[in-house]
Amino acid sequence: METDQFINALTIDGDSPGHPVSPADKLRLLNALVSRSNALAAELSTEIVSPTQAALFAHTIERAHQQGEVAQLRAALTAQRTLVQELPSQNLDQVRAIADDPAAFIHGTQWLLPDPATIPTGIMPFKDTTGFLQHDLRLPRFAAVNRLYAANTLLPTTDVHGNRCGPRYPKLAQQLERGIVSVGPTAAAARKLDKLSPTIARQPDAHTLAEHIEGRIADSVAAGIPTATNQLLTAIGDELDEATGPEELPTPEEIRAKTGIFINKRTKHFTYLTACMLNADAEVFLSHFAHSDNPRTLAGNREALAASATGMNPTGNPVNENGNSTLNGNGSTDGPDWFTHPENAETFPTEATGALPGIDANLATSLNSLTTGQDGLTPPQRHLQTLLNLMRAPARPPGQGATGLPTARLIIHCRLETLLGLAKGNGWSAHGLRIPIAEVRRRLATDGTIPLVLGGQSEILDVGQEMRFATDTIRRTVLARDGGCFYPGCTVPPEHLEMCHIDAYSDGGHTSVDQMTPGCTSHHHMADNGLLTLLIHNGIPHVVLPQHLDPEQLPRRNTYWPQNQATLF
């Protein structure tokens, strides 16, 4: 049968009325059409001389390409539905041969092998449909996963009961079907909408809101500017996060969808990660980073920290437990290549991000700065290095403080009436992160907690004149009350602050909670030199700035840090 006759026969009812064309014969037609369309495109590319015809040719091929992308999704979904991964190897071998040279199959001289009559046993050629797409169609792993995801998201499917279901995102699917958009940007937008769905589900009238958001995203995808779509999705996500009540905790689904450390990209020398966590967990990180950034402590000593955590001596040579170098005479290690970590561990330089949503500009600049310190490391590199050293530390390190590994503390401030449910509000971390009150109560019940109550008697808060330096208890309590440095606008992290006497210790000042306030090194020296005046005003430490800075000479407080004047935890 000629190709034209074959096409005409299959586009009606076949040769016999009342007998519809079988899927196998339609596959012959599809292969014939694909073969003929490729030949036609090759002929037209050399025969067309009219620009009008060339324009139509370009539009036709582009439309065919878009339809081909949708057809790829349909084929992937069909492969998944029919369990193509369970086909025996002889069937798969024949299918590959026909796909490479379909002439005999098109002309009806070759037939497909029958499907297995029984459930296959033994080891299957592929683990799942993704494996079939990856190995039989030679797709990259991520491309195979993304194709199946797009097929199950943007095409009609069936539920577990065999009922037909519409696409998960009908507006995006409609645009894809009409050829307005391509699969890649549409599937990427759908995946990000999936991440927003737990947060959307918490909102009032979630169904209507979800339809509205999908409509906005569909319009943005149709505009063809991926950057604008990503910005819109980010803005919607931020707005949804802020729309939740102050006492409302994220749902388990939302936590599962958002939190974790994610690998974004990997190159020959670098791996790019992003992290998302609850504020209470982020406070532990910020405290840890602040300790590692303090050059006056062993925790901030890069060389000592690396040596103690990785088993390296100051020269960078591996050492054994007896302190002897494990390098042989030619400079190689006595183990395999992967046995010894390089002298300078690889770190991940981070591009400056400018203003970050929800983070104070000063804090973001200091955390993400690409300026190297005296140790030759940027803050992000230093933060990563300390985490790596913690992970490499021995299972039983020496006593506290002996290794120089920073010890992070989670300090939460909360008013007593809020904790008791007598007033609305939140807890606040030492670095100004909002902690939902329900999370504060949970941690009080489950974590190792030391309550610090101003005026209470559960802790020794005052140590008297005979001691000059504040104890850890006094330091924690003073930081809980004042938050940070006493100087207005100072943003030095709490871990870097010193304890300042309101009245100089040499002049009879007391080492007690009500007679001390935290200050950075610079402002502490200014107070000691008489450039600033520290005093107690309304029972709380204040500072009077020089007259040229504050002509009114009023007692001031640093309002940058969250402050509590009631019961603190």
pLDDT in tens, 367-415: 566 666 766 666 666 666 666 566 555 555 444 444 555 666 677 777 7
Closest residue by Cα to residue 232 from 244, 245, 219: 219
Distance CA(138)–CA(520), nearest Å, equals: 61
Q: Can you tell me the mean pLDDT for 200-208?
A: 88
| Element at 478 (helix H, strand E) | helix 472-482
Least confident of 30-34, 361-365, 506-510: 361-365
Contact 148, 162 (CB under 8 A): no
Max mean pLDDT among 160-164, 172-176, 297-301, 309-313 falls in 172-176
With a pLDDT cut of 90, the percent of the chain lying above it is: 27
Contacts of 459 (CB under 8 A, 6+ apart): 450, 451, 452, 453, 473, 477
Q: What is residue 322's predicted lDDT score, i.e. its pLDDT?
A: 43
| Element at 276 (helix H, strand E) | strand 271-276
Q: What is residue 512's predicted lDDT score, i.e. its pLDDT?
A: 84
Question: Which conformational region is residue 260 in: left (phi greater than 0), alpha (psi within -120 to 50 degrees), or beta?
Answer: left
Q: What is residue 222's predicted lDDT score, i.e. its pLDDT?
A: 92
Confidence bin at 150 (pLDDT 50/70/90) = very high
Q: Write the secondary structure of 325-343 as one string of H (helix), E (strand) and C (coil).
A: ECCCCCCCCCCCCCCCCCC
Q: What is residue 217's predicted lDDT score, i.e. its pLDDT?
A: 93
The full DSSP string for 404-467 is: --------EE--HHHHTTSS---EEETTS-EE-HHHHHHHHHHS----B-TT-SSS----BTT-
* CA distances for 405 relative to 314, 320, 345, angstroms: 16, 20, 17
Q: Write the secondary structure of 209-247 as one string of H (helix), E (strand) and C (coil).
A: HHHHHHHHHHHHHHHCCHHHHHHHHHHHHHHHHHHCCCC
Contact 301, 400 (CB under 8 A): no
Q: What is residue 287's predicted lDDT score, i.e. its pLDDT?
A: 77
Q: What is residue 561's predicted lDDT score, i.e. its pLDDT?
A: 76
Least confident of 42-56, 168-182, 339-353: 339-353
Confidence bin at 424 (pLDDT 50/70/90) = confident
Least confident of 49-63, 79-93, 263-277, 497-511: 263-277
Confidence bin at 351 (pLDDT 50/70/90) = very low
Q: Can you tell me the mean pLDDT for 484-499?
A: 88
State the residue for tokens 């300090």: 411
**Dihedral, 208, 213, 216, 219 alpha carbons, nearest 10:** -90
Confidence bin at 467 (pLDDT 50/70/90) = low
At CA 420, angle to CA 414 and CA 421, rounded to 5? 100
Confidence bin at 457 (pLDDT 50/70/90) = very low
If one compares 436 and 468, the residue with the highest pLDDT of the two is: 436
Q: Is the confidence at residue 117, as pLDDT, over 80?
A: yes
At CA 191, angle to CA 185 and CA 192, rounded to 5? 90
If one compares 225 and 425, the residue with the highest pLDDT of the two is: 225
The full DSSP string for 133-196 is: IIIIS---HHHHHHHHHHHHHHS-EE-TTS-EE--SSHHHHHHHHTTSS-HHHHHHHHHHHHHH
What is the residue type of 352?
A
Contact 235, 227 (CB under 8 A): no
Distance CA(508)–CA(347), nearest Å, equals: 49
Q: Is the confidence at residue 170, as pLDDT, over 80?
A: yes
Q: Is the confidence at residue 345, as pLDDT, over 50?
A: no
Instruction: Give the start-to-end residue ranges of the domains of the chain.
Output: 3-163, 177-256, 277-321+344-408, 411-569
Mean pLDDT taken over the chain: 76
Distance CA(477)–CA(500), nearest Å, equals: 14
What single-letter DSSP state applies at residue 17? T
Q: Is the confidence at residue 449, as pLDDT, over 80?
A: no
If one compares 321 and 301, the residue with the highest pLDDT of the two is: 301
Q: Is the confidence at residue 419, as pLDDT, over 50?
A: yes
Distance CA(559)–CA(286), nearest Å, equals: 20
Closest residue by Cα to residue 567 from 490, 487, 458: 458
Q: What is residue 318's predicted lDDT score, i.e. its pLDDT?
A: 41
Strands 164-165 and 157-158: antiparallel
* CA distances for 258 relative to 79, 254, 291, angstroms: 31, 6, 27
Cα atoms found within 13 Å of the Cα of residue 81, Cβ hemisphere only: 16
> By three-state DSSP, how is residue 5 classified?
helix
Helix, strand, coil tally for the chain in percent (to 5) = 45, 10, 45
Distance CA(121)–CA(86), nearest Å, equals: 9
End-to-end CA distance of the chain: 87
Distance CA(34)–CA(3), nearest Å, equals: 12
Q: Is the confidence at residue 51, as pLDDT, over 60?
A: yes
Max mean pLDDT among 34-38, 202-206, 268-272 falls in 34-38
Contacts of 47 (CB under 8 A, 6+ apart): none
Q: What is residue 174's predicted lDDT score, i.e. its pLDDT?
A: 93
Confidence bin at 452 (pLDDT 50/70/90) = low
What's the maximum distance between 2 C-alpha atoms anywhere in the chain? 112
**Token duo for residue 228:** 């604008």
Least confident of 87-101, 344-358, 432-446, 477-491: 344-358
Q: What is the number of other CB atoms lying within 10 angstroms of the CB of residue 448?
A: 5
Q: Is the confidence at residue 348, as pLDDT, over 80?
A: no
